[in-house]
Structure 1
Amino acid sequence: MSEHVVQSPLPGVFYTRPVPDQPPFVEVGSVVTAGTTVGLVEVMKQFAEIKAGESGTVTAIHAENESIIGPGDGVVTIEKD
């Protein structure tokens, strides 16, 4: 099987959860589809969803919650189905 690294489309602050008191969008071992939200990136109080882009299983999460990321930075790795 091959891997797909989900990359941030924008620079900003990466969030692994929709709100602080809820569980993360995905965890290692989560099964996702191409349309699954894997995180949010905030730029100037605007939030953009980052989608998986491929179906498969999450094998790694590269960005920590509330970390600064740049465009093209890998945030999640998915082992494709």
Structure 2
Amino acid sequence: MPHTATWKEIKEGRLTDIYFERTRKILKAKGIDLPVKTEFMAHALPSNWPWAVLAGVEECAEVLKDLPVDVRMMKEGT
């Protein structure tokens, strides 16, 4: 269970990052109705740490399951 909202609220699109809402409005205003792609990546580690922990995979899978999307990610342990 996420700490900020229910799975139902998230899956219904009742909350989102403002970036996504603004992008949706721009695309709609321009009459653009195409599939979109998103990427989530880290370009740097905090304080130049030499390692990182991949977390939240289960939460992402829960939100995306049953949706008509393709998901790709790095292999565990890489």
Structure with a larger share of its residues in helix:
2
TM-score normalized by structure 1?
0.28
Mark the structure with the bigger radius of gyration: 2
TM-score normalized by structure 2?
0.28
